[in-house]
Structures are given as C-alpha cells and as structure tokens.
Structure 1
C-alpha cells in the first residue's frame, strides 16, 4: 500500500476532511472484508488484535474531536500522552464485544467529523495524528500482519 505523505503543513481544512474520510473508508473496508475470527486474533501490533485496534482508534477519534474543540476555544494545552493511555484504554475495552467496539468506533468517528465540520478554521495539523495519519498507520499494520499470516 502506498501510504500518503505524513506532511500536514500545506493541507487545507477541506482537503484534510476529505483525506480523513478516504483513509477512514479504506481502513473500514479492509476490516469489514475480514472474517470475524481474524478480528479477535492477537498479534496485529504487539499483543493487540484488530478488535483492540478498533477500540484504540475510537478513543483517539474522540480525542481528535476534543483536541479540535479545545484548540478552537484557545486552549493550547497538550492532550493525553498516548504512551500513558493506550494500554489502559485497551484494557477497558477488553471485555466489550466486537459489536460494541464497532458501534463505539462508528459513533466516535461520526462525532469527530461533526465536530470538525462545525469548527471554523481548524488547523489540519492539529488533528492529523488522531485521524488520517492514525488510520493509515494502523491499516498498514493490519496489511503487514495479514501478509505475515499468509507466509
């Protein structure tokens, strides 16, 4: 897979929204093409399964919306450190069903997109790591894992 440039310097908000949706749909299409059994199999990235990754992405979509709102309100404070929240967030979702995680993922993504559409002049660089760059990163991991499984 050709991963688009990680640069966010020159991207306009409308282009960022389009890239978010393109990257999102690419990831969702990949995941929905897989058998449900594969979604629970650990080892995609570290010990995480695709289900774990989907819950992780839901968390960071919510964070992307919160970051955009916070920055639009003039609060430049840093958001959560991913190194401190990723494992506890995964543990919080471990007992959730795949259906619950997928529902949370869809709701979080819709909420984040609604938030971005409602904000005037959000800067794409502020949400890239929580959105399209994040989807592209994890799609590449899933694709790599699938390739390793077939060899």
Structure 2
C-alpha cells in the first residue's frame, strides 16, 4: 500500500502545502517502545519558524485522506460524457484496427504470451469487459449496487480465473469470439449513451469512490496492456522473418 499512497502523495501534497521525502519512508517504526503503523514523513513549511518541519503520518490515515481529496475533485476534474464516449470509441477502433490487419492464421497462432493466441487475448478482454464494466453500467441503469464477483480478489485468484477463461475459450471458433467482442463493445457504448452525465460522474462506494468516467479515464488500461502484448509479438515475428 505504501507505494500506491506515495505515488498519489507526490502529486497531491504539492498542492496542499507540503512535499514527500521519498528517502524518509518508515514502515512499522518503533516509537516510545511501541510498534506503530507504517509511517510516512511529510515536509510542510512552518510559516512562523520559516523552515520545513517533518510530520509523521500513518499511511492508513493518508490513504483515507487522499481518497477523500480525490472524491472532492471528481465532479470538477473529470471528462464530460461526450469526451468519455469519444475516448471509448477510439479505444475500440484502435484495437479493431490492430486485429483487422491480421490473418485468421495469425489471430489463432499460439505464442503471443505463453500458449495464448490473439484470439485468446480477445476472449480474455471480452470476459472482463462483460463481467466488470458492462455489469457496472447495467447496475447504474437499474439503480442497484454492482457486486464484485471476487474473481480477482487476489493475484492468485485472478491468475486462476484467467486460466479458466483461456481453457473455456481456446476451442471456440474465431468467428464466435470476434462476434462476442464486437457485441460487447456495442453494448457498452449503448449504456454509456443511455446513462446521464450525473450518473457517470457520481462516485460509487463499490468503485472505491471513483466515478465511471474517472475509472475509465485512467491511463494504461486493460486494452492497452493486451494491445502491447500483441504488438510485441508481431515485432518478434517480423524480426524472425528477417
């Protein structure tokens, strides 16, 4: 948790009168003979003493404060519904353009990452898009709380789930996998178009205080990750031919 909080602090505390000294992170420090929570020292300017003072903060406390700070900004610093739709359509179009340039043989050839083919990556993306994003949008539309499946509660659980997704989809036809992929895209866009701006900008407890727009606007998302797997593999294929 320390590194996650630290990355947030670096950009946040500069606007709150202080800065983070990365060399003074202390975990489970013993103070007065007692083991305290992991601590992070924040340097803040003392205007009376005219010098920087070190203040020890509990990482748990800081994490909670930063979440509150982030939520307070969600209504003002996030994209509009129109911008989100444009961004999501561009994301899908970019991935579609990548796989459109591949032959059926290339799409089904194992080895992109381990035994996975491009088709397996597509099936993987579809599964998680339907389970998470699409179900979240449906829940908002129906006025209910989205319930986490627990299929990625830990890294070990997520790895097992991903293996099951691979085994369940590896023998499906390419046409079927591509069709479900496109249908899922269309359904997501339809829900985003249907939901109002306020619904998309509302922080949801089941999304850890994020709004849908903020959550979908984070860089280096799932699609980009798998697109990179495919591009790296294509580069290796090209270099092998040379």
Q: Do they fold alike, i.e. is TM over 0.5?
A: yes
Comparing both structures, which one devotes a greater share of its residues to helix?
A: 1
- Shorter chain as normaliser: what TM range? 0.7 to 0.9
Partner of 2:17: none
Runs of 4+ aligned residues of structure 1 deviating over 6 Å after TM superposition are none
Question: For 1:69-112, what per-residue CA distance to the aligned partner results, in whole angstroms no more than 9, with x for missing partners?
Answer: 22553515434434143221221112211011011111111112
> Which range moves more in the overlay, 69-78 or 87-96?
69-78
Q: SS at 1:14's partner residue?
A: helix
Q: CA RMSD in A?
A: 2.4
Structure 2 runs not aligned, ≥5 long: 1-73, 153-157, 201-211
Show the counterpart of 2:55: none
Distance (Å, rounded) in 2 between the aligned partners of 1:29 and 1:134: 17
Alignment of 1:102 onto 2:178: yes
**Distance in 1 of aligned mates of 2:101 and 2:89:** 18
Aligned partners of 2:81 and 2:213 also within 8 Å: yes
Matching of residue 53 in structure 1 with residue 141 in structure 2: no
Instruction: Give the distance between the partners of 1:112 and 1:88, measured in 2 at CA.
Output: 24
Q: Give the alignment of 1:1-150 within 5 angstroms.
A: 10-63=78-131, 64-71=133-140, 73-75=143-145, 77-82=147-152, 83=158, 84-120=160-196, 121-122=199-200, 123-127=212-216, 133-150=221-238
Number of matched residues? 142
> C-alpha displacement at 1:45, in angstroms?
2.5
Q: Is the 8 A contact 2:135 2:146 kept in 1?
A: no
Question: Normalising by structure 1, what TM-score?
Answer: 0.80
TM-score (norm 2): 0.52
Distance 1:125-1:79 versus aligned 2 partners, 3 A rule: farther
Distance 2:217 2:169 in 1: 24
Higher relative contact order (CA 8 A, sep 6+): 1
Query: Could you say if the C-alpha distance between residues 125 and 26 of structure 1 is closer, same or farther in structure 2, counting changes exceeding 3 Å?
Result: same
Q: Which sections of structure 1, spanning at least 5 residues, go unmatched?
A: 1-7
Greater share of residues in strand: 2
